[in-house]
């Protein structure tokens, strides 16, 4: 479904993503992990058109999409969430999601329909478990609620590939498990392929089919969760940097 080859992003003299290649199969959940600053969000920014790659190719369903504008990429069927939610606070939850749905239309189908956008918003809100009433305000949503809103906005654009930049900061353990279960449900029930970014390994490993690990902008490991946690390069990057990751690696090694 997605074939990425030799992806590079430089900011001035600094290389944030260095020659990264990977594939994602239809229906798969690929986990993308790595320490802070390893280039995860930068990869999403290139896949979603937020900024163009410095080099490399991104083919989605057979078509080159590298460097296309964000709305064109959304219209091709790639939706994303943002690591830092920035909803329109003066709009209701429903309006935020319907607006995303409206923005996500067009392209091949052509034209924009408010009715369709609102129907997409209703489905997306039901999927993530947020209130579907038209006036519920954004204020009062906690970290977990804002993440759900991000997810609903992305779903309302009608993606076949979802880029979920969760980086589950601000969630407690129970909320993290819920977020992980929700991504699996989105894949299982809607058939949406997912790339899930997270820097905490533990929760992610439970849900993903395959994992890719970045460090300093380079891909250092890729494979099944059980393989990756035992990869000495991954252990080296994670041990001593993050208590949860250390625990996840230790637990996986015991199994
Ligand atoms: N627009 C930008 N301009 C300059 N440098 C940037 C820009 N965006 C990201 N970077 C740098 O690129 C590197 C990778 O950042 P990125 O946000 O992709 O990391 P990340 O893996 O998502 O980290 P985190 O886990 O903290 O979210 C970092 O050193 C960051 O400072
Ligand atoms: Mg990030």
Question: What is the model's pLDDT at position 248?
Answer: 65
Contacts of 199 (CB under 8 A, 6+ apart): 33, 34, 35, 36, 40, 167, 242, 245
Question: To test the ligand 1 pocket, which listed residue (16, 82, 170, 214) has its Cβ within 8 A of the most ligand atoms?
Answer: 16
What phi and psi, each to the nearest 5 degrees, are found at residue 165? -90, 85
43 CA: nearest ligand 1 atom: 18
Residue with tokens 């074939």, as numbered in its chain: 3
Would you state the pLDDT for residue 108? 46
For the cut 70, the answer to whether the pLDDT of residue 192 exceeds it is: yes
User: What is the mean pLDDT of the segment spanning 235-251?
Assistant: 66
- The pick from 9, 42, 169, 212 for probing ligand 1's pocket by mutation, whose C-beta has the most ligand atoms within 8 angstroms, reads 42
Query: CB–CB of 220/38 below 8 Å?
Result: no
Q: What percent of the chain has pLDDT over 70?
A: 90
Instruction: Give the separation between CA 118 and CA 6, rounded to whole angstroms.
Output: 39
Domain map (residue ranges) of the chain: 1-77+160-255, 85-158
Atom 18 of ligand 1: nearest residue by CA position: 39
Q: What is the pLDDT of residues 77-126, one digit of tens each?
A: 999 998 888 899 999 999 999 999 998 876 445 567 889 999 999 999 99
Looking at every residue in the chain, the average pLDDT score rounds to 90
Strand-pairing partners, residue 221, are: 213
Place 253 in a pLDDT band, splitting at 50, 70 and 90: low
The CATH number of 1-77+160-255 is 3.40.50.300
> Which residue's CA is minimally distant from atom 6 of ligand 1?
11
Q: Which of 27-31, 168-172, 251-255 has the lowest mean pLDDT?
A: 251-255
Does the beta carbon of 42 lie inside 6 Å of ligand 1? yes
Instruction: Give the model confidence (pLDDT) of 112-127 as tens digits.
Output: 788 999 999 999 999 9
């Amino acid at each position: 479904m997605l074939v990425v080859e030799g992806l590079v992003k430089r900011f001035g003299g600094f290389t944030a993503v260095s020659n990264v290649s990977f594939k994602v199969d239809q229906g798969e959940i690929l986990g993308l992990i790595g320490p802070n600053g390893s280039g995860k969000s930068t990869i999403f920014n290139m896949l979603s058109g937020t900024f163009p790659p410095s080099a490399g190719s991104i083919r989605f369903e057979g078509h080159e999409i590298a460097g296309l504008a964000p709305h064109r990429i959304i219209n091709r069927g790639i939706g994303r969430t943002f690591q830092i939610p920035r909803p329109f606070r003066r709009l209701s939850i429903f309006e935020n999601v319907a607006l995303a749905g409206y923005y996500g239309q067009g392209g091949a189908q052509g034209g924009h329909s408010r009715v369709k956008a609102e129907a997409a918003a209703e489905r997306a809100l039901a999927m993530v478990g947020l209130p579907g009433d038209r006036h519920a305000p954004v204020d009062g949503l906690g970290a977990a609620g804002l993440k759900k809103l991000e997810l609903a906005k992305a779903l309302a654009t009608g993606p076949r590939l979802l880029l979920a930049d969760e980086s589950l900061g601000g969630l407690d353990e129970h909320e993290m498990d819920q977020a992980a279960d929700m991504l699996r449900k989105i894949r299982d029930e809607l058939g949406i392929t997912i790339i899930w970014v997270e820097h905490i390994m533990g929760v992610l490993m439970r849900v993903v089919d395959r994992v890719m690990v970045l460090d300093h902008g380079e891909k250092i490991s890729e494979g099944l969760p059980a393989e990756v946690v035992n990869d000495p390069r991954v252990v080296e990057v994670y041990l001593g940097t993050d208590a949860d990751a250390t625990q996840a690696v230790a637990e996986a090694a015991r199994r």
